[in-house]
Amino acid sequence: MALFNSSNPTLKDKIFVKEAQTTSNAGVMTINGTIGKTFLLLGMVILAGAVTWQMVMKATTMSSVTPWMIGGAIGGFIMAMVVCFKPATAPWAAPVYAALEGLFLGAISAFFELMFAESFPGIVITAVAITLVTMLVMLSLYRSGIIKVTNKFRSVMLIAIGSVAAFYLVVIVLNLFKVATPFIHGSSLLSIGISVVIVIIAALSLLLDFDFIEKGSAAGAPKYMEWYGAFGLMVTLVWLYLEILKLLAKLANRN
């Protein structure tokens, strides 16, 4: 059913349709329930992030924090795969993912905060605020119908998301061969322009996620799929936050 297409790889049409067919007496998925669980996961990210944030701020050497950051990143990726392939695990796997992702985000955020303490004090809280405001703006645009999620819009977004993924894959390969990539890591106008485009794509992805969750609720998906929908939104929000943080860092480097 093309009706349920989403740019988010964790939110696919076949998953909701399949799970809706196995709805139990435990209740059905609702939009409000999914939003509530999304904020719960955000809270877990913040709490876990505060742990590694403090570790970085108090550490005499960064090597003591690196295992927590890398462990959080790898563990978060593993849990994300578990949720993607087994949506029924979302009620427990999504919170674990949020906690592990929080460990990674807390450490990387603290690194940015220390790195730009003079040129851009408060860079992290600024990135967090912009991310949350962007989410609320996108939700308002979706609910008001100002931007309609049509099949054409979905197709364009799928191409855009795929292009970004391919772009980052090329960058990773180039870095492995020690090829300089100033167009993505530097602070040139080209690099900043690329980051702006990626941030816009990430923000617009929220619209498709909202639309997908609404239609999943209408399809009568089981209650535990609220956790799955919240997890999908978290994936997009984490991506958006990191892209905004990188963009702010590039702008700070030009000062």
Per domain, the residue ranges of the chain are 9-253
pLDDT above 70 coverage of the chain, percent: 89
The Cα 247–Cα 253 span in angstroms is 10
Tell me the CB-side half-sphere exposure of residue 15, using CA atoms within 13 A.
Answer: 22
- Taking Cα atoms as reference points, which of 249, 231, 241 lies closest to residue 80? 231
Cα gap 121→75, rounded to integer Å: 30
Token digits for 207? 């619209």
Tokens of 45: 């990210």
pLDDT range class, residue 163, cuts 50, 70, 90: very high
CB 118 within 8 Å of CB 186 = no
- Residue 70's pLDDT is 94
Q: pLDDT category, 19, cuts 50, 70, 90? A: low
Question: Any idea what the Cα angle at residue 218 is, between residues 145 and 226, rounded to 5°?
Answer: 100
Please name the residue that has the structure tokens 């998301």: 161
Q: What is the pLDDT of residues 200-214, one digit of tens each?
A: 999 999 998 998 899
DSSP H helices, 116-224, are 123-144, 151-176, 182-185, 189-218
For 47-61, what is the mean pLDDT? 91
At 176, is the pLDDT very low, low, confident or very high (cuts 50, 70, 90)? Answer: confident
Residues 32-46 pLDDT 10s: 899 899 999 999 999
Q: Is the pLDDT of residue 192 over 80?
A: yes
Judged by average pLDDT, the poorest of 100-109, 155-164, 173-182, 196-205 is 173-182
Contact 244, 131 (CB under 8 A): yes
